[in-house]
A and B are shown apart, each in its own frame.
Chain A
Amino acid sequence: MLAVHQSRINYVLHLADNALIIGHRNSEWCGHGPVLEQDIAITNIALDLIGQARNFYQYAAELIGNNTTEDTLAYLRDEREFKNCLLAEQPNSDWAITILRQFFFSTYQYFFYQKLQYSNDVQLSAIAEKALKEVTYHLRWSSEWAIRLGDGTEDSHQRMIKAIDNLWMFTGELFLAVNYEKIGVNEGYGVDISLIKNDWMKKVTDAFEEATLALPPDDVWMQRGGKEGIHSEYLGHILAEMQYLQRAYPGAQW
């Protein structure tokens, strides 16, 4: 029973961490976007994602009890306790990389939340129903930008090719279930992510075609581990910045 409860907590934390980490990455663009309108766009998307993360963390805190709050979960856990996919933590680098990361992730979230709406966990279902509306809008924006850059100038096209080289290896993990996800599926509250892979692939293939971009070959080695706390070097740096204030001045408020 305890193990089953812990699995549900891990599942909710995984969804929260996904949204928080990519949301935080997007928020790093605040004031640095290539043009004002897109600076506003990416930071608005960050806001939506951090809002989704808050909903999941609040629910996880409720499941955990013991005075846990959304803030202790976001600010006081260590790198190995974070369960986000590796894709979410990859650095912003070039605008093309940020756009492609968001397009891959929004496509994933779009199909994922569609299924999570039918979770037998009422709270997960409600969060999914709400978040899906926002994600639909993110997907529209990010796919347009992926197409615009891919089918744009020679420079933007080259940058998108580089972005694909950088990020493709992190997309396999999105559809490979770890233990707590398998338990979630068995218990009826989780999504069978292997079932959304084809939808994701089709959306990406169609967009790439319109963007005049080639799909990588099938045999690219896929990285994994994020969902189980084995992260790339980047997550530690994100947490060092994001958690600094609460670590240095516990309980600080403003």
Chain B
Amino acid sequence: MVTIKIISEKNIWDLLETIVDPEVPVLNIVDLGIVRKVDMHDGKISIIITPTYTGCPAMDVIKLDMYTKLLENGITNFEINTILSPAWTTDWMSKAGKKKLKKYGIAPPPAQQSICTPDAFQKEEAVQCPHCNSYRTILISRFGSTACKALYKCEDCREPFEYFKCH
């Protein structure tokens, strides 16, 4: 007896939510905002993703994980396409994702999108320490361990932490 499972768009989104960013494993790729669209046409599934940063090495791994996950679940009739425009912004990270980040010890991007400008020595954004919630924090380095983060230090609890930088 063969059971034919009808796959819905929601099934696909649910599966994609089980795939995590290998560099920030507390976030899944839907939280991160890199899955832009899931479309079904005549039984063919089309998934559109976009990178956070052009050179982000996690993208290749994520794509491979997506293939594996879909195939493991018996889904074969699909394609994954990468688009660059519109460009990813931290604003696309879900509220749930931001909460998870903070709990994990990474300061999430602010609720209101911060636009980067090229001006030197501008006033820094107020970044909240994910450990003690203090705003008395200082920038240590504009760049961090991955393309998407900057390095901060809390002046109150003295802990260093990472921050999802403006993008």
Task: Check A133–B116 contact: CB distance below 8 A.
Answer: yes
What distance in Å separates the Cβ of B12 from its nearest Cβ neighbour in chain A? 25
Task: Check A140–B142 contact: CB distance below 8 A.
Answer: yes
- Whether a CB of chain A sits under 8 angstroms from the CB of B151 is yes
Q: Report the Cα distance A137→B85, complex, angstroms.
A: 19
- Whether a CB of chain A sits under 8 angstroms from the CB of B74 is no
Q: Report the Cα distance A220→B86, complex, angstroms.
A: 42
- Interface hub of B84, B88, B144, B151 (most chain A Cβ within 10 A): B84
- Whether a CB of chain B sits under 8 angstroms from the CB of A41 is yes
Task: Check A137–B141 contact: CB distance below 8 A.
Answer: no
Residues of B within 8 A of A38 (CB): 141
What distance in Å separates the Cβ of B113 from its nearest Cβ neighbour in chain A? 12
Classify the secondary structure of B's interface with A: loop
Task: Check A51–B56 contact: CB distance below 8 A.
Answer: yes
Per the 8 Å Cβ criterion, residues 190-225 of A in contact with B are 207, 210
Task: Check A140–B85 contact: CB distance below 8 A.
Answer: no
- Whether a CB of chain B sits under 8 angstroms from the CB of A52 is yes
**Interface size range on A against B:** 20 to 34
With contact pairs A40-B143, A134-B53 given, residues A140 and B117 touching in the complex (Cβ less than 8 Å): yes
Residues of A within 8 A of B80 (CB): none
Of B23-31, B118-126, B129-137, the one touching chain A: B118-126
- Whether a CB of chain A sits under 8 angstroms from the CB of B54 is yes
Across the two chains, which residue of chain B brings its CB closest to A46? B55
Classify the secondary structure of A's interface with B: helix
- Whether a CB of chain B sits under 8 angstroms from the CB of A37 is yes
Across the two chains, which residue of chain A brings its CB closest to B146? A44
Residues of B within 8 A of A44 (CB): 143-144, 147
Q: Tell me the count of chain B residues lying within 8 A, CB to CB, of chain A.
A: 31
- Interface hub of B83, B89, B118, B141 (most chain A Cβ within 10 A): B118
Task: Check A144–B143 contact: CB distance below 8 A.
Answer: no
Task: Check B87–A133 contact: CB distance below 8 A.
Answer: yes
Interface residues as binary, A29-51 with B (CB distance below 8 Å gives 1, 0 otherwise): 00000000110110011011111
Q: Report the Cα distance A37→B128, complex, angstroms.
A: 21
Among B51, B86, B89, B120, which residue has its beta carbon within 8 angstroms of that of A140? Answer: B120
Residues of A within 8 A of B144 (CB): 40, 44
Task: Check B87–A52 contact: CB distance below 8 A.
Answer: no
Q: Report the Cα distance A45→B55, complex, angstroms.
A: 9
Task: Check B120–A130 contact: CB distance below 8 A.
Answer: no
Task: Check A130–B54 contact: CB distance below 8 A.
Answer: yes
Interface residues as binary, A129-155 with B (CB distance below 8 Å gives 1, 0 otherwise): 111111011011101100100000000
Per the 8 Å Cβ criterion, residues 47-61 of A in contact with B are 47-52, 54-55
- Whether a CB of chain B sits under 8 angstroms from the CB of A76 is no
Binding site for A on B (CB under 8 A): 51, 53-57, 83-89, 116-122, 140-145, 147, 151, 165-167
